[in-house]
Structure 1
Amino acid sequence: MKDLNLLQQFAPKSDKPLNYGKNAVIYTRVSSAEQEDNTSLGSQKKHCENYARKRDLNVVGYFGGTYESAKTDDRKEFNRMLNFVKRSKNITYVIVYSYERFSRSGINGAQIADDLLKKYGVITLAVTQELDPTTPSGSFQQKILFLFSQMDNEMRREKSMAGMKEMLLEGYWIWEAPRGYIDLNKGGRANERQLVVSDEGKLLRKAFEWKAYKKMSNADITRKLKKMGMKIDERRLNNLFSNPFYCGAITSKMIPDQVIKGHHEPMVPVDLFLTVNGIREENRSQGYTKDPNNENLPLKVFTKCDHCQGTITGYLAKRKGLYYYKCRTRGCKNNRSAKAMHSLFKGMLESFVIAKEELEIIKISLEEQFENFFEQQLNQKKLLKKSLQETLSKIEKIEERYVVGEIDKDMYEKFKKKFQKEQDEIQKELSNTTLNSSNLSKVIDFATNICSNLLKMWEKGDLHTKRAFQEMLFPEGIIYNRKHDRVRTPRINTFFSPIPELARLLKGNKKGDSTFLSEIPHVGWKMGFEPTASGTTIRRSNQLSYNHHVKN
């Protein structure tokens, strides 16, 4: 056919081609200001820069460098990085320390990375989880890592929230001491804290008395406090007067509709507190609102030294032709042959192996283990949706009353702002409950299928596959103890943590015995994982005996 070129405009367009350039940006993030470990901001930046330098990449921008929660992708620095990459025409890579630093929002994070690749030709790379997202297998591994990061995050959050609620219900304050208090046992557990009234608190006690007995305004109180050396904003003082903590009680959104007697020292008596609030309500005006990719050393960097907490690297002893792992801290003699270290690590992996005949019953048991979690989350989501609907109804009613002239503009704006704030808070809470049970069966199938062939997959896999498995199971890596010649991990991915105990219980049955689901106890979410035989030299995987402990 002639003139095919005239038909070119009707041909489907190809996806955005890869840039194949050398330019990259680095994004670093921690979850809180207190995070100071191997994933601290400085450590992340250093590892990312080394990664870029060894691959001859040109870093043209740095983003993040602060603490941002990755539960959602509504993050200032994260979005600034995305906008920069999308507007630029010469960026090929986004480099992060690990995929959970990029996002812990599961499939949403995976979608963002996938869109960057397909629409803009930009590849998201993780220093500690090397894979090639441009290949089908690499893309699949990347999505699985995002999914498990979200699952792990949700389970850890649920466990943490349960513990916090328990402390509050027992009368222990779990957050930073409010203004006017000092903690005589700072750094201790919540039930070990000693919150007492400080010198500043004694001035605040006088403020309560001035408000109750002299009927002083907040403006007069703040001026008087300033003369005595204490600066406080009027609005802050207003909030302080209405906080039951100062009369010895604990209230929180985590324990709605409940008032708990606290273990801390009251600043003022209850009757004084109530008197102040009666006055405040009456007089209140408008509210205020070496080769990192050596196939023979997959545990390099992933392993830490138990003696000095340094990172373990690796090298080749040329005369022997053997590979060794060695702590990089000068003077620390913690080193081990790669063969022996791999044998120890495979011993850990063996505890996760599921026999084919045990596969289905473990799947069923895992579903029961997670059933309560999803049920609680579902109930919470229903309550939040109901509350959101009620708030939207309030906004609609206040708008109607304003339109028909029942209330003036000032009253309308005051209450609308209040209800919109409630709406924003509820929607923010709803965004933290995005995980649902529809993916549970798929994830359980994926996890159990991996565990049924785990040793072979790790032994036969290439370097990237091995590292992907390592990071998936043990997000914080492993720790090697030279004295006892054993390895342990600070944390297991929450979703995999019940499997070793379930497998152990099933393997303990005699061959031919029937196993009933009711005989398998509920396995709690174990965060730590280490050998029980202290001082025993462990060399063969069939000699390994592990126990679990909960990481505080």
Structure 2
Amino acid sequence: MTAVIYARYSSDSQREASIEGQLRDCKDYAEKNGITVVGTYIDRAYSAKTDDRPEFQHMIKDSAKKIFDVVLVWKLDRFARNRYDAVNYKHQLEKNGVHLVSAMEPISQGPEGIMVESMLIGMAEYYSAELALKVARGERENALQCKYNGGVVPLGFTIGKEDRLYHIDPETAPIVQEIFSRYADGEPAEKIAASLNERGLRTRTGKPFVKNSFFQIFRNRRYIGEYRYKDIVTPGGIPAIVDEDLFNRVQQRFEQNKIAHGRPAKEDVSYLLTTKLFCGKCGTLMGGESGTSHMGNTYYYYKCGNAKRHGKAHCDLKAIRKEPLERFVVETAIKVIFSDEIIERLIDLIMEAQQQENTRLPVLKDQLRDTEKRLANLLEAIEQGILTPTTKQRLDELEARKEALNTSILEEELKKPVLTREWMRFWFEKFRKGDVGSTEHQRQIIDTFVNSVYVFDDRVVLNFNFTDDSKTVTREEVLGSSAVENAPPHPQTIRSGDFL
């Protein structure tokens, strides 16, 4: 089995494990488990809250090349600090046949492991949100003083090393003034960009100018001295590079020349049952599609992948509407899973799984108790005057062993946070009281608790991760009145008779 290691270090915490420490622990885990490490991907000073991690994105793309079997991380919070990203990218890896493994949080592959993983990611998300609040408070204080709060510094400005305030850059500010003046006087943006490039001038990021380079410049009100950070706006908070009259002339011309190109952006639709939904006739995964009715209404639905690729001759299962099916799955999962009895049973399973996963910790604690007992017996013998030439040596050995065992126990406990019953109850309550209408909440319920859904012509079967119970209902019950009230979609590949 081959693996790559993904390591990340965030600049917002000085207490996180170093890149070198993460790599060492991951390599140790790989060696102990017979895994061959074939590469590493490292993002330095990047937060897991952002998708803009170059090496992470490189790794996700490489997973499709079938050159490694496992992505090994130090802890799950190195991979992602929110449940949506964690599930999304983990699905991408699994789709490419790659598994995600945490070196310091060994998690079983069974259904209990799915829930433990979800809880650990929830803890990371909680930590990330708490940290974000602290950072936001500091940034707000900076903003009230018109101080720099991060990001790319606009062309024409520099940031003071001591005061963190905006200052005019005498070398690049004239370039900004020239761009505004020439554009306001009617010169085309392409011509301005070409002349700047001919003189060897570059953008703030060191790239040649293109006409699109000017969009951010023309819209940036910092150039007229206006400090902006989120909802904080302070006119005159920073030194102005151009006057308001010139700025407004540029805005007027910019609006006149602005031409919309292309089609509107495609609507982003989340198909929450992707990787969980199967055709009951042929067993193929079902995928999301959309279609338009003769009235012009857009509908979203799931269709058998076999039928999508090869047509009805290979599988004639009727497509099923997305919204009512997802609603049925979520509402049924809540009814089945979130009873007090089931929750306590699940907590018992997770507690048992945690104990089974960490077999070294109980052994270390037994050894510590034995060492403390031997130490107590030896001290009692000394108090009674029973001394031998080796007594002091033996006492030193036992003290050293006790200290070493305490250190090993602490290290083992730090490797994987123990999920307490209180934390798990809190986690379940968050699910139970969550907004069922929220797409993110629906996604979390489906990804954590739903094992699979099978769609047949006459029924739908729902299977769960943590209980042997399954739920079978007719398609009519799932779709309710929507199947009658709404006309079917008519994409080129779908006829009205294919849809229910």
TM-score (norm 1): 0.42
Task: Report the structure number with the largest CA radius of gyration.
Answer: 2
